[in-house]
Amino acid sequence: MKKKHDPGREEREQYEANGKYAYEYHSPAEPNKHGRRDADPEDEVAPLTPPWTTNVPGPPPPKAPGERAKAHSRTTTNRLIFVLAVMVVAILVAQNTIFRLTTVYVIGYRNKTPQQIAAASGLVKGLNMFSLSEDEVRENLSSDHTIVFLGMQKDYPSTIYLYISEREPVASLQWLGLL
């Protein structure tokens, strides 16, 4: 078989070897002795990838199902941690600003004023409502023997009700200078 001389063939092969360009020509072959146009096997060019995909990185390969589950699990875990952190900050801010003692109601007083009873109980404006315990209030009021502590009720976010009864002296007697 006789090779056809193509002046641009060497240049094309050089560019294709360097990966810079890709050429593909489709031209009719010369007629043979029967009048048919057969292609010369030397002229056949293997199909090449389009030039816009040769040097440009493509999309990442698809992840395996296990990798997708791990990525989804990590995303869910990160979101959960973020939500929990926001909730902790919100609780701390609420405790320091909203849940502060502002009002004490005393129920059951007769001889002493509510201010005297509240002061004896140790309840002061601005205390954290979550840190107040009934046992501490009972202990503080037990130092005054005229007050009997019956109970305490917290009304969130800032009110406490103290239930007390007062002991009343029934008889007094003076003997040897003592009352």
For 104-134, give the DSSP string. Answer: EEEES-SSS-HHHHHHHHT--TT-BGGG--H
Angle subtended by helix axes 114-121 and 134-142, to nearest 10? 110
* Predicted pLDDT of residue 82: 95
Task: Provide the residue-wise pLDDT of the chain in tens; the chain has 179 residues.
Answer: 555 566 666 666 655 555 555 555 555 555 555 555 555 555 555 555 555 555 556 666 666 667 777 777 888 899 999 999 999 999 888 888 888 899 999 998 888 899 999 999 999 888 888 888 899 999 999 888 889 999 999 998 889 999 999 988 787 778 888 76
Helix residue ranges, H only, the chain: 9-18, 65-97, 114-121, 134-142
- Report the DSSP beta bridge partners of residue 106: 162
Measured between alpha carbons, how far is 3 from 42 in angstroms, rounded to an integer? 8
* Predicted pLDDT of residue 73: 83
* Predicted pLDDT of residue 8: 61
Note if the bond before 157 is cis, omega within 30 degrees. Answer: yes
* Predicted pLDDT of residue 97: 83
Are 140 and 119 in contact, with CB atoms under 8 Å apart? Answer: no
* Predicted pLDDT of residue 169: 76
Measured between alpha carbons, how far is 37 from 57 in angstroms, rounded to an integer? 41
Sequence letter at residue 171:
A
Backbone angles phi, psi at 113, to 5 degrees: -80, 155
* Predicted pLDDT of residue 29: 54
